[in-house]
């Protein structure tokens, strides 16, 4: 005979979050079904003789909390490294569009070059534009998942500014150190992208593992 249990979950912000918890719960032997809502923060689980501790442990393993407590943090979760790499990749693509586009414009358009902007000013503008295009790309990606542009933008704007600023700063600092000024060449771009990816990746892992924050 099956029984039902409700568990309050903290940290879920979208359908992707609730879907991840649902998948984890339904993978447990003995769980018949799991209905998970990020809006109410509740999981209703139908099961046959599965202990509450096992269910809670499964929820915590996805990065979310039960009764305000999550899984003890560690750096050994391969699935979180993989997911955080995927998140970082999309952020990098978005940031690069605005960042590289700005540098390329000042590099190739005579009018902009004639303005006499300093290297620091161009770098700051490139960083700002990179963050804006990253948010725009994430909004576009999340529209279907979030059920509309407003909710998609809310989630996208809630992305970690620390991660994006670290990414932008490291890419532009690498460009300045190698080239001496904001300049793009075919061989410096891969180096900038590599540094831009590696710099925020551990932070994105920590944020996803500890708080379950990321809906990319």
Tell me what pLDDT residue 45 has: 95
Please name each of the domains of the chain with its CATH number. Answer: 3-61 (3.30.70.100), 78-211 (no CATH)
Q: Which residues, in sequence order, are CB contacts of 51 under 8 Å at separation 6+?
A: none
Strand order across the 31-37 sheet: 3-8, 42-47, 31-37
Tell me what the mean pLDDT of segment 57-61 comes to. Answer: 86
Tell me what pLDDT residue 214 has: 58
CA quadruple 55, 27, 74, 83: dihedral, nearest 10:
-130
pTM of the model: 0.74
CA–CA distance, 85 with 101 (Å, rounded to integer): 24
Tell me what pLDDT residue 88 has: 93
- Whether the per-residue pLDDT at 215 is higher than 60: the answer is no
Q: Which residue has the higher pLDDT, 142 or 82?
A: 82
Tell me what pLDDT residue 37 has: 93
Tell me what pLDDT residue 216 has: 47
Q: Which residues, in sequence order, are CB contacts of 19 under 8 Å at separation 6+?
A: 36
């Amino acid at each position: 005979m099956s029984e039902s249990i409700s568990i309050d979950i903290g940290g879920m912000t979208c359908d992707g979050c609730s879907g991840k918890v649902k998948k984890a719960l339904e993978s447990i032997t003995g769980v018949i079904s799991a209905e998970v809502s990020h809006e109410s923060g509740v999981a209703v689980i139908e099961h046959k003789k599965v202990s509450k501790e096992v269910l809670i442990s499964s929820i915590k393993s996805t990065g979310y909390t039960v009764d305000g407590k999550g899984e003890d943090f560690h750096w050994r979760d391969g699935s979180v490294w993989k997911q955080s790499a995927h998140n970082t990749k999309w952020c990098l693509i978005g940031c690069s569009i605005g960042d590289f586009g700005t540098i390329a414009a000042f590099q190739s358009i005579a009018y902009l070059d004639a303005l006499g902007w300093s290297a620091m000013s161009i770098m700051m503008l490139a960083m700002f534009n990179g963050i804006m295009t990253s948010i725009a790309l994430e909004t576009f990606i999340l529209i279907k998942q979030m059920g509309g542009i407003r909710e998609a933008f809310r989630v996208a704007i809630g992305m970690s500014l620390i991660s994006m600023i670290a990414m932008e700063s490291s890419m532009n600092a690498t460009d300045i150190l190698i080239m001496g000024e904001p300049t793009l060449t075919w061989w410096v771009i891969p180096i900038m992208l590599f540094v831009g990816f590696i710099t925020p990746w551990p932070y994105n892992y920590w944020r996803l593992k500890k708080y379950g924050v990321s809906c990319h």
